[in-house]
């Protein structure tokens, strides 16, 4: 799952990164005393990964959390959202996504076959990003805790780079000064 470019983005913001396996428990992760937890991408259906949703449930509210792709889906499941399989999936670059906070359209890179269902979205989550071509959920924010996620790949090495600001937002949630996170 995890791409090296994710580590590069975090390191470029001054983060010291410790990689743990996806099977790590919340207690094992918190034993490192992290300033934040990044949930990386990965393949497949997130629904059988109950060990991961249990871990994420144990992390939200204790440290800032940022997830992408599979991490987005797992955070959604951990918060009570439901997942469905897309008929064709979202693949490739140049995927338009609306950032609801700014009104800007971000051009994104995507590679997934599952999405968060909007019909049963729990009250604790707010939709932050929408895919313009089919109105699927592309971003979520927890209303009570510093936790957010996006379905697409802001770390895409060859681009597009419209969404790199998400890494700076995560660094700020972890306490990095704004000057350091620009």
Q: What are the residue numbers of the active site?
A: 69, 153, 155
* Helices (H) then strands (E): counts for the chain: 5, 7
Tell me how far apart the terminal alpha carbons of the chain are, to the nearest angstrom.
27
DSSP state of 154: T
Give the CA distances from residue 92 to residues 112, 140, 144, 159, in Å, rounded to whole numbers and listed in that order: 10, 21, 33, 11
């Amino acid at each position: 799952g995890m791409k090296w470019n994710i580590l590069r983005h975090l390191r470029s913001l001054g983060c010291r990164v410790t990689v743990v396996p996806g099977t790590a428990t919340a207690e094992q992760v918190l034993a490192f005393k992290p300033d934040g937890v990044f949930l990386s991408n990965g393949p497949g259906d997130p629904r059988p990964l109950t060990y991961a949703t249990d871990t994420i449930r144990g992390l939200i509210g204790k440290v800032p959390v940022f997830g992408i792709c599979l991490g987005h889906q797992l955070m959604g499941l951990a918060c009570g959202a439901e997942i469905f399989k897309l008929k064709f999936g979202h693949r490739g670059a140049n995927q338009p996504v609306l950032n609801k906070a700014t009104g800007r359209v971000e051009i994104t890179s995507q590679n997934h076959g599952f999405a968060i269902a909007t019909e049963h979205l729990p009250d604790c989550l707010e939709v932050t990003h929408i895919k313009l071509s089919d109105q699927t959920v592309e971003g979520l924010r927890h209303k009570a805790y510093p936790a957010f996620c996006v379905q697409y790949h802001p770390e895409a090495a060859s681009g597009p780079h419209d969404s790199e600001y998400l890494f700076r937002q995560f660094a700020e949630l972890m306490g990095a000064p704004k000057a350091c996170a620009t």
